[in-house]
Chain A
């Protein structure tokens, strides 16, 4: 098993698309950050101090429940601290034309789709390359235990994607920090670094999961292009169509579940009840319930990954290899 793992790792590492994709994203990041830094203006210390004071004042008010009109936190928050961390943010007081390091977790959440796409792309190519080159037969004349081959391959794809996406997100974070240091604000908000690291780990775990899904699709279709096409067609078009037709199906769909995992925001029932004050101002919006919790979303994503891999294993075990 260790030897097969080594062979699969070497094969994956040798694929040209891996360094090409890494270099492409690195160059794209540098260009993007340079443009962002060019348009950003470092705030003066006086402005930063004023923003910090405003932020702390608003947060204190939030913790006292002044924004809600009710003593407890709204669903799905479990404490006022959690609610206020999410609602009152330093960046909202500093200004919008400068790069703020405190927005790093949001930036990382924003690129989670790109990170997942990297997983789909590399997973497809790692799963489909052997079929395209006709080398699957050659491989099986060295290791005929097909289940072992596919599981090893899935493990290698997941590990490689995890490593690559950790590196790329770390690079994005470092360049963002550099841009903020040069042309913006490096003032961190409460728990910013912890949030950023957790977001990086969630994104990378999702990229690994999507890589396994794509690898399974490539094994079933026996083609990289067909796998990418099938996944794009299903995830973007079919799931969008299904979600709009049957709202109750949303918690079972991969994209929705993955979004909940990435954002750590539960999927709420869109039917909501609004509460207005005596003067007609909106005080609160109460959702009727949570359609999919964060933990539940993790389970749904896991079922998708294991289910698709299981189908791919069955097909790979049964079908002839020419």
Chain B
């Protein structure tokens, strides 16, 4: 049984002027327990709507959702104490201090003052806890939102675009935090439209586009589905390298200061031998790894769904 189970989820918005909009269209999802699960897709793919449905904030038009085995929204109250979440940007009272915001939420769950202190320390906000939230940077607000989510000591964390608007240092901080939370045995369900970002943190991913699931599984498996594989070779004389490989019947092309060789990664030894026989010695030889962005573009190119 997964910690998040979604069957045929559909959410349709009807608006007088804009007519009917399908935000999520028959989504099936099964998130296993433990680790970091990336929920990917471009803006408008339906990620946030799915998360809102999971948390009972939005009523689905059709389909079923279960969180930690509890049906949403009927039985949600029984498990919500084990679910920490941030939906889009953390919504907090700007004129209250960071600590007061956590106290207000923490009281619902019976969190003590020391638990609030620990949460603030964990996200590096202990020193600014007495300041009003309106004086916080976006990154600090994100961290405060994560601190609020951690107050419940959750077994499932749902983070919607946690790196949104952060500077590079902030992104690294959040990435490390997400990794460490996943390593603690919690399930971290993290949505993002920055595919390369999730690639660094997630164990499994699901790719969503136009409200539909395109691909789901372990990161390596999803990357393999991208297809575009090869070898990257770095050597001093690239032109000679291309000629030598061509003589051996191997296609290669120059890409900046490296060669992209059209062979499977396991044939690296053959490439190295051919070049060495011509007196050309490689300084770097590695598989041409496909990133999630490439995979996503490939998976969606026929449907015009790319970001």
Contact = CB atoms under 8 A, between A and B. Distances in A.
Contact of A14 (B83, B94, B104, B105): B104
A299 interface: no
A10 B77 contact: no
B52 A143 contact: no
Interface string B59-98: 1000000000000010011001001010100111111100
Given A7-B104, A133-B94, A142 B109 contact: yes
Q: Specify which of B59, B96, B104, B148 lies most central, judged by the most chain A CB atoms within 10 Å of its CB.
A: B104
Interface in B223-275: none
A318 B103 CA distance: 28
A35 interface: no
B100 to A, nearest CB: 6
Contacts of A141: 55, 57, 80, 83, 85, 87
Chain A contact residues: helix, strand, loop or mixed: helix
A155 to B, nearest CB: 15
Contact of A145 (B57, B77, B95, B109): B77
A135 interface: yes
B58 interface: yes
Contacts of A4: 107-108
Contacts of A137: 52, 55, 57, 87, 91
Contacts of B52: 137, 320-322
Contacts of B57: 137, 140-141, 320-322
Contacts of B104: 7, 10-11, 14
B149 to A, nearest CB: 9
Contacts, number: 78
A321 B105 CA distance: 18
Contact of B105 (A7, A133, A320): A7
Given A134-B91, A320-B52, A14 B96 contact: yes
Contacts of B107: 3-4, 6-7, 10
A143 B91 contact: no
Interface in B132-159: 148
Contacts of A136: 91
Size class of the B contact interface (CB-based, 8 Å): 20 to 34
A129 interface: yes
B26 interface: no
B56 A7 contact: no
A138 interface: yes
Nearest to B97: A14
Contacts of A14: 93, 96, 100, 104
B108 A133 contact: no
Given A138-B92, A144-B76, A318 B59 contact: yes
A144 B170 CA distance: 31
A16 interface: yes
A100 B218 CA distance: 83
Contact of B103 (A10, A135, A144, A145): A10
Size class of the A contact interface (CB-based, 8 Å): 20 to 34
B95 to A, nearest CB: 6
Interface in A285-322: 318, 320-322
A142 B80 contact: yes
B55 to A, nearest CB: 5
A135 B52 CA distance: 14
A142 B100 CA distance: 16
B110 interface: yes
A143 B87 contact: no
Interface in B91-124: 91-96, 100, 103-105, 107-110
A144 B225 CA distance: 39
Nearest to A129: B93
Given A6-B107, A10-B104, A14-B104, A144 B56 contact: yes
Contacts of B87: 137-138, 141
Nearest to A148: B77
Interface of B: 52, 55-59, 73, 76-77, 80, 83, 85, 87, 90-96, 100, 103-105, 107-110, 148
Closest 10 pairs between A and B when the two form their complex, measured CB to CB: A7-B107, A134-B91, A320-B58, A321-B57, A135-B91, A142-B108, A144-B76, A144-B56, A7-B108, A6-B107
18 contacts: A4-B107, A7-B105, A10-B104, A14-B93, A14-B96, A133-B94, A134-B91, A135-B91, A135-B92, A137-B55, A137-B91, A142-B108, A144-B76, A144-B77, A320-B57, A321-B52, A321-B58, A322-B52
Given A3-B108, A14-B93, A144-B77, 20 more contacts: A3-B109, A6-B107, A7-B104, A7-B108, A10-B107, A14-B104, A133-B93, A137-B91, A138-B105, A139-B105, A140-B57, A141-B55, A142-B80, A143-B80, A143-B108, A144-B55, A145-B77, A320-B52, A321-B52, A321-B57
Interface of A: 3-4, 6-7, 10-11, 14, 16, 129, 133-145, 318, 320-322
